[in-house]
Amino acid sequence: MIFESSPWKQQLLRDAGNLKRISKSPLGESNEDVLLTRLERLIFVGAYSMRKLHESGKLSTDWTKIKLSCTRFEFVGKCAPTILDAHKIDRFYELANPLDIRMPSDEFCDRVVHSFIFAPVVGEQGCVDGFHLTSDRLKKQCLWFVPLAEVITLMVRTGKDYPSDGVWIRTASGELKIWAGNGEPPAGWLASAKKLRR
């Protein structure tokens, strides 16, 4: 668990800035490997950091309500992709029939941490626009396209999320139910938490 969140959040803000620079840098022979490796590391470490901040109660409870605008492609393969053919995404997913969705922030982080396919997508300007993603658990269900701008926005919001108030209630089963934010918790949260005490 994370005790002091400030260094983690400051690093997220720096990493968001680095991702923004990468998103504006055309790929070429001289820089492609370096930029794509840096992109992958920033996304993976960023998702892990945000997930740990959330699990440690260092973010507002409403953080999970942040949603990324993504595109979903359904699985149409006869078998699951393997490490030998995962790059042939058109064989496994219906790319011609995209579905616009909103992915919750915590689900995004989990899917990156457990990713099976992570493939940067380069746009017409030669810059990275986003990436295709699916997890080891969901590879036989669907694939997502996640715009890089959405990830940058999430990292900035997370890096600036400093809840000033918190309420902890121990449930009858011994679990800890936590609310974090600014001001008082919503009445609905308090009511449901109090029921769990019994």
Vertex 105 angle, CA 101 and 110, to 5°: 100
Task: Report pTM.
Answer: 0.91
Name the residue with tokens 């990324």.
68
Q: For the segment 4-62, what is each residue's pLDDT rounded down to a tens digit? A: 999 999 999 999 999 999 999 999 888 899 999 999 999 999 999 999 999 998 999 99
Distance of alpha carbon 2 from alpha carbon 107, whole angstroms: 20
pLDDT at 197 (0 to 100): 74
Tell me which amino acid residue 9 is: K
Q: For the segment 85-104, what is each residue's pLDDT rounded down to a tens digit? A: 999 999 999 999 999 999 99
Helix (H, G, I), strand (E, B) or coil at 192: helix
Q: With contact defined as beta carbons under 8 Å apart, do 47 and 68 qualify? A: no
Rounded mean pLDDT of the chain?
94
Question: Average pLDDT in the 64-77 region?
Answer: 97
pLDDT at 191 (0 to 100): 83
pLDDT at 198 (0 to 100): 60
Q: For the segment 172-185, what is each residue's pLDDT rounded down to a tens digit? A: 888 888 889 998 88
Question: Average pLDDT in the 145-161 region?
Answer: 98
Phi-psi region of 77 (alpha: psi -120 to 50; beta: other; left: phi over 0): beta
